[in-house]
Chains A and B, each alone.
Chain A
């Protein structure tokens, strides 16, 4: 399944990843329930403040799900950055992936090899990773 995302959102995520470097950054994009449309960008705080781990604070997490419910929304995209490695789900990412319906977006801030615009999306279901095409809408 293709992820369609606006240029503004993609740019904002890449910008956030650079701003929070050397820590990983994270966040979500929300959309109307059932639509699959990634419409509302919501950067989240990486409570782990780490270059190798990210985690939504449990209180923020509950607030997020309450907000999503109240607005009849769903989490369409869960994104985070890798600081020095490929924008591909790590073993930890796979172990923790708890939203089978979400697009897991990864970006990377590593300086070599990767273009600064590296922006990839995956499904992670029952431990299986499937990369999917990304269409950035101008």
Chain B
């Protein structure tokens, strides 16, 4: 068992164009560390100065992680994580 992570188009160059990848960890922070170890550079696209980037949205089982404790959001095997770029601008 592991955690399924859906990767948005803009980040697929890091995952060899895979739309779904697998990761492990007990928190979102662990999952990002694990993803970065598998797909170098991906972590930096999600984090800035140790915090989630403002224009990246991450959901655990369809719930926005901002409401689940951010990087400390707990995750477990079988969970599904979705990463989406914000659609925003000025």
Binding site for B on A (CB under 8 A): 26, 28, 44, 48, 52-56, 58-59, 61-62, 65, 78, 80, 89-93, 95-101
Q: B64 an interface residue at 8 Å Cβ cutoff? A: yes
CB of A59 within 8 A of CB of B64, answer yes
Q: B10 an interface residue at 8 Å Cβ cutoff? A: yes
When C-beta atoms are compared, the residue in chain A nearest to B8 turns out to be: A98
Number of A-B pairs, beta carbon distance below 8 Å: 68
Binding site for A on B (CB under 8 A): 8-10, 55, 57, 59, 62, 64, 66, 82, 84-90
Given A61-B57, A62-B62, does the pair A97, B9 have CB atoms closer than 8 Å? no
Contacts of B9 in A (CB 8 A): 99-101
When C-beta atoms are compared, the residue in chain B nearest to A91 turns out to be: B90
A-side interface mostly: mixed
CB of B89 within 8 A of CB of A61, answer no
The smallest beta-carbon distance between A72 and chain B, in angstroms, is: 14
CB of A54 within 8 A of CB of B62, answer no
When C-beta atoms are compared, the residue in chain B nearest to A44 turns out to be: B87
Contacts of A89 in B (CB 8 A): 89
The smallest beta-carbon distance between B10 and chain A, in angstroms, is: 5
CB of A92 within 8 A of CB of B90, answer yes
Known pairs A55-B88, A65-B84, A100-B10 / 11 extra A-B pairs, C-beta < 8 Å:
A26-B87, A48-B88, A58-B57, A58-B59, A59-B64, A61-B57, A62-B64, A90-B90, A93-B89, A98-B55, A99-B10
